[in-house]
Amino acid sequence: MTDHSRSLIMTEAQERAALIDVDRYDIAVDLRGLFEGEVLEATSTITFRCQRPGAGTFVDCVADVRSASLNGVELDASAVVDGRIHLSDLVSENVLVVSSAQSDTGSGAGILRTVDPSDKLVYVWTSFEPDAARRAWACFDQPDLKAPHRFSVSAPETWTVTSNDGPESVVDLTDGGRLWAFPDTPPLSTYVVVVNAGPFHELREERGGHSLGLYCRQSLKEYLERDAADLFAATEAGLAFFGDRFGMPFPQVRYDQVFVPNMGGAMENWGCVTWTDSVLFRSPPTHGQRAMVNSVLLHEMAHMWFGDLVTMRWWDDLWLNEAFASWAATWAAVGATPYTDGWATFLAGLKLTGYQMDMGPASHPIRGNVPDVAQAMANFDAITYVKGQSVLAQLVAYVGEEAFVAGLATYFREHAWGNTALADLMSAIGDAAGRDLGEWTSAWFDRAGTDTLRLTTSAAGGEIHAEGPGGDEPRPHRLDIASYRRAPGGLEPLGVTEVETSGARTTVLGLPDADLHLLNHRDLTFAAVRTDVGSLAHLLAAASKLPDPLSRALAVATAWDMLAKGELTADAFLICVLDVLSVERSAGVVEPFLAMALRAAEQWSDPASVPDRLARLADVAAELAKVPEHRSPALRTLAAAAASAEHFALLDEAARDNLDLAWRVLARRAALDAYDGAAVEALLERDPDPDAGVRALGVTAARPDDNAKEEAWKEAFGTRSIPASLPLQQFATCFWRPVQGELMVRWAHRYLDELEALPIGGMLAMGGLVRNMFPTTGDRAFVERARAMAAAEGTDPTVRTTLLTGADTIARVLRARGQDSP
Ligand SMILES: [Zn+2]
């Protein structure tokens, strides 16, 4: 029956919100059927008022409805159609009671039951965004019908249950198990409530007036304990920072974070964030991995205010929710945690994915129509998160941080526990700044594509030529230009020029005479920037001499943009980035630079040049591995690029006490057709990681051999046995070896075959498989076929976006390799 559920249409949501107010949800959940079976049972009691007695509406329930009564009258089974229970003859105060059972608890659609492969213990999580709460129990599943939720959860005796707050009581049940009673939540949207359960390992500390909890499955407790000090510290720092800047402390004592198996990403449930437990890295994490965890932690935390406390009225503002949380995470990382190079890390990593998507055919305005909830899911992409975050950063530069933060505090105060739209936020910020942001808002949020800013210089000074996408009017940009003169041993700074552009041409007053003008210094705006012709050669050749990691990241990111647009060869890019890496010491950018260098050498180079370019990268990585702080990421890159006997000797030595590296080295050897089955078996014996089998499968997947690829492929697309997130990413990296040429092109086509037949599961899990397994290589026919599939009627929006963006990248790669034009 679940296949026939209808997606809520915006106008239906508006009508329902105008008709009813939900007073409260009392939800009894029985998880005992999940201990050995697959059924989650729930009885949802909804107390709500109706504005127009006599009118009708519907409640959402995409589960097997066992009974339903409205105001004491049993509803007929025929009232249940397409995941909705029709309610008629409402009175002014109503009580609806629905008992239901959900047996689809294995696909990750809102609920996932997992059996840990190492100890057979069972864990259950829920994650409801955007509209999966209706799969667990009956509810009015739309963001603007907020209400207190009260959960009472029956669970097996050995399980711990976590929900939005701590339990009021836990008592034994006469018919087995224990009953966990939770207090009323504040008024919450249906998509941010949560119930997780299992024999969790729990750590708890009192910090800064809050009770902070961390949970994970038993088999991962050593990793949680290893990382707990960092997690507690970041949580305490984040709550203090946001509470202060937002003018409102987090209003609940308890703040829990639950690391769960086989989940993609993390989810901002009020007071109880769920995370993929693949972030509890089985090998000591690198700086980049710790920075990512810190960033996700702060992102979900920012949602407590922006998303949970104040919630978008409809999913068309979902982008704002995500963009804001992403911006706030980087802002807080730099302002309150050790990750002070956060903006450079963002530019060299994530921001490039925003530019990449925005230059391709899947680009869309940041703000768009979302006619039904199914469309909301299509907008979880790099435009939403990354470009959105970048444009908010530009807004901060445009109005000033002080006004921005003052506007936010007003916004949270005035709309606490309510629902808003973009205009509410923009008017609060505009009022604080004394600027009308109407035109700015539509210029930045309602149009797709990236502006290009070109600097020209003459004896008279400088001028910025701005060009909107497709020849459109450009947006206004607030940006800085840093100027440098070449000096013995480096670059001498000559000062920073502040600019606010308007229209196609803006004169830059006071620009000094210089050898190098760094356009978009401090990375304030979102634009493709091309500095003047005189500066360009210095920008590429002297990027390593720029004084700070953000400036070096800007130079490398500009070079990458030129590579993607056919203005620079992969070799020229590689020379630039390897030069920077030979001196780079900021942990915040070393890893993204290494990743870009690897892509340029392996994916963007013509196959004949790949071995030589990988060898050059491997040499740089081997040198960098001598710096203790960079040793771990440098060795990982070396393991991806190793070419010589010296490289392998270095790796074999380092891999002796590093299981993660040992897997990488085996995969590299396998990719070079030196698969060692006995070594794989021996490493499986040694590695206690419950996901070690996936690493072994990755080694198989790396082999330049059709049968091996087939064996690995079945686990990804057939049984779908590869856990989401990091294990899947590692697997995909092993599988797609661009240097394996024609063999890979055949598998790229196989990927498209699979997509045509893919069942649709939970948003995060499915999106992960489709995105992560996208080929890194292909041919012209692949590009055309992917585009045709994207254009076909009925293609899932998430799949469509992935196909369009991925095919665009492959087309650019083929051009860079000299194999084709895009
Ligand atoms: Zn988010």
pLDDT tens-digit map of 397-453: 999 999 999 999 999 999 999 999 999 999 999 999 999 999 999 999 999 999 999
Ligand 1 centroid, distance to 294 Cα (angstroms) = 14
Length of the chain: 822
pLDDT, position 761: 45
Q: How far apart are the first and last CA of the chain?
A: 44
- State the pairing for strand pair 210-216/201-207: antiparallel
Mean pLDDT within 567-589: 97
- Summarised one tens digit per residue, pLDDT across range 681-695 is 999 999 988 889 999
**Is residue 655's pLDDT more than 80?**
yes
How much of the chain, in percent, has pLDDT values that exceed 70? 98
Longest CA pairwise span in the chain (Å): 89
755 band by pLDDT with thresholds 50, 70 and 90 = confident
29 - beta bridge partners? 42, 153
**Is residue 760's pLDDT more than 60?**
no
Residues 6+ apart with CB under 8 A from 73: none
Residues 6+ apart with CB under 8 A from 214: 202, 203, 204, 224, 228, 231, 232, 256, 257, 258, 259
pLDDT, position 4: 66
Report the amino acid identity of residue 409: A
Question: Which tokens sit at 516?
Answer: 């190098």
162 CB neighbour count, 10 Å cutoff: 29
Angstrom distance (rounded) from CA 445 to CA 492: 38
Answer whether 134's CB lies under 8 Å from 61's CB: yes
Mean pLDDT within 778-787: 96
Question: Comparing C-alpha atoms, which of 201, 159, 207, 161 is closest to residue 181?
Answer: 161
pLDDT, position 1: 36
Question: Comparing C-alpha atoms, which of 261, 267, 216 is closest to residue 106?
Answer: 261
Ligand 1 centroid, distance to 93 Cα (angstroms) = 35
Angstrom distance (rounded) from CA 259 to CA 265: 10
pLDDT, position 756: 80
The helix/strand/coil state of 270 is coil
Ligand 1 centroid, distance to 410 Cα (angstroms) = 22
The helix/strand/coil state of 605 is coil
Instruction: Identify the active-site residue in 41, 268, 300, 591.
Output: 300
**Is residue 764's pLDDT more than 60?**
no
Question: Comparing C-alpha atoms, which of 723, 755, 742, 779 is closest to residue 260?
Answer: 723
Angstrom distance (rounded) from CA 543 to CA 535: 11
Ligand 1 centroid, distance to 383 Cα (angstroms) = 13
The helix/strand/coil state of 312 is strand
622 CB neighbour count, 10 Å cutoff: 20
**Is residue 795's pLDDT more than 70?**
yes
- Summarised one tens digit per residue, pLDDT across range 224-240 is 999 999 999 999 999 99
Ligand 1 centroid, distance to 322 Cα (angstroms) = 5
717 band by pLDDT with thresholds 50, 70 and 90 = confident
Ligand 1 centroid, distance to 13 Cα (angstroms) = 22
Ligand 1 centroid, distance to 791 Cα (angstroms) = 29
Mean pLDDT of the chain, nearest integer: 95
CA 516 to chain centre: 35
Angstrom distance (rounded) from CA 203 to CA 660: 26
Question: Which tokens sit at 543?
Answer: 């990027």
- State the pairing for strand pair 311-312/419-420: parallel
Ligand 1 centroid, distance to 303 Cα (angstroms) = 7
Ligand 1 centroid, distance to 127 Cα (angstroms) = 12
Ligand 1 centroid, distance to 309 Cα (angstroms) = 14
Ligand 1 centroid, distance to 295 Cα (angstroms) = 11
Query: Rg of the chain's alpha carbons, rounded to an integer?
Result: 27
Ligand 1 centroid, distance to 752 Cα (angstroms) = 29
CA atoms within 13 A on the CB side of 719: 9
**Is residue 79's pLDDT more than 80?**
yes
For 17-71, give the secondary structure using H, E and C: HHHEEEEEEEEEEECHHHCCCCCEEEEEEEEEEECCCCCCEEEECCCEEEEEEEC
300 has catalytic annotation: yes
- Cis ω before 130 (30° cut-off from 0): yes
CA 104 to chain centre: 25
* Strand (E) or helix (H) holding 389: helix 388-399
Ligand 1 centroid, distance to 306 Cα (angstroms) = 10
Q: Is the dihedral of CA 305, 311, 315, 320 positive or negative?
A: negative
* Strand (E) or helix (H) holding 466: strand 461-467
Ligand 1 centroid, distance to 299 Cα (angstroms) = 6
pLDDT, position 726: 81
The helix/strand/coil state of 568 is coil
Answer whether 386's CB lies under 8 Å from 373's CB: no
Ligand 1 centroid, distance to 705 Cα (angstroms) = 40
Ligand 1 centroid, distance to 288 Cα (angstroms) = 20
Answer whether 248's CB lies under 8 Å from 305's CB: yes
Question: Comparing C-alpha atoms, which of 30, 25, 48 is closest to residue 149?
Answer: 25
265-303: buried (b, 16+ CB within 10 Å) or exposed (e) per residue?
A: bbbbbbbbbbbbbbbbbbbebbbbbbbbbbbbbbbbbbb
Angstrom distance (rounded) from CA 115 to CA 118: 9
Mean pLDDT within 735-741: 89
- Summarised one tens digit per residue, pLDDT across range 62-71 is 999 999 999 9
- Summarised one tens digit per residue, pLDDT across range 310-344 is 999 999 999 999 999 999 999 999 999 999 999 99
Residues 6+ apart with CB under 8 A from 112: 105, 106, 124, 125, 127, 260, 262, 263, 762
Ligand 1 centroid, distance to 240 Cα (angstroms) = 20
Mean pLDDT within 798-821: 90
Question: Comparing C-alpha atoms, which of 710, 675, 674, 714 is closest to residue 696?
Answer: 675
pLDDT, position 3: 47
